[in-house]
A and B are shown apart, each in its own frame.
Chain A
Amino acid sequence: MHEVSLASGLIEIVSGQCKNNGYQRIDSVNVKIGRASGILPDALIFAFDAMKSDSLAKDAVLYIEEVLVGGHCRDCNSDFAVEEEYVLNCPCCGGLSFDVTAGREMDIVDMEVS
């Protein structure tokens, strides 16, 4: 729902880093988005493309790697990933003592510049 504000922040960060590194244009950007982050990848790409025109990212393609919600169970010691956006109990043993270790990502990984 707030993909436009995110796209605007994203363009600002990558354009700044591109300029600081002395490059003229960004060809592509790789980001990681967790399934539990509340972000719709398609909407983020749409917003990125709509807002990039006046920036160093104007020709850039945005690639999104989706990250599943995952955790570590303290009962059975297993590491797991689930299809849902949340974990209610360990999918291996049904236990309730687990730590959610992945799925909230909203990270910029790297970019291709020239």
Chain B
Amino acid sequence: MKVKVVSRILEANDRIALENRRLFDRANVFVINLMSAPGAGKTSLLERTLSQKTGLKVGVIEGDIAGSDDAERIERLGSPVVQINTGGACHLDANMIYEVLDDLPLDDLDILFIENVGNLVCPAEFKVGEDIKVMLLSITEGHDKPLKYPLMFQESSALILNKMDLVPYTDVDIDKIRKDSLSLNPKLRIFDVSCKTGEGIPAWVDWLKERARRV
């Protein structure tokens, strides 16, 4: 007997992501799913972002395979933070986020960053209930990355190019990164930053504030 099954394989995840989104909307919080390879500078970007005087209350969910170093870095800046250890899983999924929502003062927050596990593949597939996805690429990773990992570039609303202070010391072709990224996703907003020097951070934070205000 043949039975039709019209369903996405990720249906269960998508359902929980929708429920997360409902809770975020009710609390009026703008949620960013922040994704990158390991070591691109996600936590450094958050430290820089949180240090800007925005008048906005920002919370963070830290996703890591193990350890709580990142959460401690955020906590030192006085922001509400929850650490998730995936225990080996290469991405955060909607249920992991749902499980920790009670540990955050959602009603008090304007913005919530979900720092995903460092990985350029899987996090792009799993919705967690976010308003937007933002991708960070450190320029030392090389200009071949947009075409090697197209999905993440296609799914993101903004691409932050980090470690721009290192450009003089590398052979990386920044124009190629820009061109390929925009070919994959013409609506992508690209920011050049250096989390080391702080260069470019205000422009990114202004854009973020503007997006968050629209919620």
Contact = CB atoms under 8 A, between A and B. Distances in A.
Interface of A: 1-2, 5-6, 9-10, 12-14, 17-18, 21, 23, 29, 31, 36-38, 85-86, 88-89, 96, 106-114
Contacts of B10: 6, 9, 106
A106 B5 CA distance: 12
Contacts of A17: 3, 5
Interface of B: 1-13, 89-91, 93, 119, 121-122, 124-126, 147, 150-151, 154, 180, 183-184, 186
Given A13-B11, A38-B151, 17 more contacts: A9-B10, A9-B11, A12-B12, A13-B12, A17-B5, A23-B1, A85-B151, A86-B147, A86-B150, A86-B154, A88-B147, A89-B183, A106-B9, A106-B10, A108-B7, A110-B3, A114-B1
Contact of B3 (A96, A106, A111): A111
Contacts, number: 87
A85 B146 CA distance: 11
Given A2-B91, A9-B13, A18 B125 contact: no
A47 to B, nearest CB: 11
A21 B90 contact: no
Contacts of A88: 147, 180, 183-184
A86 B89 CA distance: 26
B150 A85 contact: yes
Interface centre among B5, B124, B126, B186 (most CB of A within 10 A): B5
Contact of A38 (B5, B6, B93, B122): B122
A36 B9 contact: no
A21 B151 CA distance: 36
